[in-house]
Structure 1
């Protein structure tokens, strides 16, 4: 393990964390990069606390990185968070606070994702990814949410049009920079 200091991570477990399935950290081989598509961390927390399943849990990533680079952990890595269909048991979800298409997620006229990711946020993401690579020996892959969830939905403004459900982290995410800084390979 490198002599790199871990990033500062503020642990703020979601109220339903005990209802989430358990897993061995060695079973984690993938990290998925998301953007919240919400205006701020407080609203992301509110969405994460919503109970959506019979188990008493909801949708959330493991880590959230605010625009100033602060990192909050809502779900321990030993728990399975609901952040991307079909990949949850094997993955870590990292959410970057970014407006994305908010508040018109499925409106066909509002599909641009044009908020840039601040330098502090990307630097914190790289620090977190390096830390996860140091502490999770099976972690080898990385993907954006849009690469794993390619389903589409009826557009909210026009029932004859369809839009992609997930576009995050979006076209302004600096994939070359992030991939150059970590030992992870894109999934697929």
Structure 2
């Protein structure tokens, strides 16, 4: 397998509220969190990212970069802004969202917990290229984790409240952790 590209073309398309997000120096970032959108496509992920969920600040939930299935990369939030993408770890981390259906559209139904869409090679190659770029640009970056590694809360299932399901399962069982860890030079937080 070839090494990851030295850099990745990134299209900048910041969210409308990006200037309202808290700033931080690049040296404050030591963790990258891998997510999947659990949505059907990039346009739907954009619509979700633009929603204002925190009226006091006028901001919402979003990762920093979104990687489509074809390997294209879009920056929604610059690394120097704190995005809302993972509970308890936002000030120290950046979030990368991979377009993938995950459990969409019944995220919390007990009978719909399989995450069976594979990650295309073009998307994983783009992820490795982005990680290589981030390692050069963020001097303190040392760690990587999946959203599911950091948010382990269990909640009542939407279709059967007597059953508990994981609130977050992304990037899920088909994410190629061995390939990514072998190439990215970061240490996974268990």
Task: Pick the TM interval, shorter chain.
Answer: over 0.9
- In the other structure, the counterpart of 1:99 is 101
Segments of 5+ residues of structure 2 without an aligned counterpart are none
Give the distance between the partners of 1:137 and 1:174, measured in 2 at CA: 25
Give the distance between the partners of 1:179 and 1:80, measured in 2 at CA: 25
Q: How does 1:114-129 map to 2 (within 5 A)?
A: 114-129=116-131
User: Which 4+ stretches in 1 moved above 6 angstroms?
Assistant: none
TM-score by length of 2: 0.96
Question: Aligned to 2:155, what secondary structure does the other structure show?
Answer: strand
From 69, 74, 77, give the equivalent of 1:75. 77
- Give the superposition deviation at 1:154: 1.1
Give RMSD over aligned pairs: 0.8
TM-score by length of 1: 0.97
Count of residue pairs the alignment pairs up: 185
Note the alpha carbon deviations across 1:56-109, whole angstroms, 9 max, x for none. Answer: 000000000000000000000000000000000000100000000000100000
Alignment of 1:181 onto 2:186 = no
Q: How does 1:14-25 map to 2 (within 5 A)?
A: 14-25=15-26
Segments of 5+ residues of structure 1 without an aligned counterpart are none
- In the other structure, the counterpart of 2:67 is 65
More off after superposition, 107-116 vs 178-187: 178-187
C-alpha contact (below 8 Å) 2:6/2:132 kept by paired residues: no
Question: Aligned to 2:11, what secondary structure does the other structure show?
Answer: strand
- In the other structure, the counterpart of 2:47 is 46
